[in-house]
Amino acid sequence: MAELSGRVALITGGSRGIGRAVAISLAEAGAAVAVNFRENAADADAVVDLIRKAGRRATAVRADVSNGTEVTAMVAAVERELGPIDMLVNNAGIGLIRSIEELTEEVFDETIAVNLKSAFLCTQAIVAGMRARKWGRIVNISSGAARGAGGIGPHYNASKAGLEGLTRGYAARLVKDGITVNAVAPSLIETDMVRSGLASSPARIPLGRFGTPEECAQIVLMLMGNAYMTGQTVALSGGMSFI
């Protein structure tokens, strides 16, 4: 991971869960880390403090990443504080559990905006710099729901399937610029989303337990350090599904 030392990483939704674990792992690999949050300022500051105590540079930056104006301001703030962004992890997401009968246009639109549009906005905001420097790593956090039934609802399935399509579309067009774009598709990771009612027990996971945010972070770190792998989705499901 020597190639990651001194690089600058932006993690959206980086204050808790998978995003937090990714931020810490990238800092341990030597990167300076920007932790994006929308509401959880205290949690984001705690991640930043942890990274700084380990001797790495870090900053917390508030932005609603489904809003283009806020994304532009966020990227500018990160680059002023840490320097040009070399690595982007599109992790911000919501999982509003709805049945078909309960699903509304408002919930559908919000889910697509936060889970899918945000990745487009953040990628567009940083990709010109990556192309100019001929180096970049983008990892999108998808879900097993992109290719399976899932437990949240069809709006969530659609947002994550779209994210994997976005991944392949950018990968094909950026590969000659030294930029890789990949996705990680975790299922039933022990995060707030799972604890809030998505799954009360890991009984249906063949491995017999929930995954951990740190296990997701290991895959992200692998993708960041691999210059030959692009356009791929790595499944992380404890044996529930195989891509």
The mean of the pLDDT values for the chain is 94
The identity of residue 59, as a single letter, is: T
User: What pLDDT score was predicted for residue 28?
Assistant: 97
User: What pLDDT score was predicted for residue 200?
Assistant: 61
Question: 193 CB contacts (<8 Å, ≥6 apart)?
Answer: 17, 95
The model's pLDDT over 168-190, given as tens digits with 9 standing for 90+, comes to: 999 999 999 999 999 999 988 88
Catalytic residue, candidates 108, 120, 156, 210: 156
Asked about 156 being catalytic, the answer comes back as yes
User: What pLDDT score was predicted for residue 205?
Assistant: 83
The model's pLDDT over 195-229, given as tens digits with 9 standing for 90+, comes to: 666 666 777 888 888 889 999 999 999 999 999 99
User: What pLDDT score was predicted for residue 35?
Assistant: 98
Domain residue ranges of the chain, discontinuous segments joined by +: 2-236
Average pLDDT over residues 82-90: 98
User: CATH topology for 2-236?
Assistant: Rossmann fold (3.40.50)
Token pair for 235: 């499944």
Q: Dihedral sign, CA of 95, 20, 231, 209?
A: negative
- Chain mean position to CA 209: 22
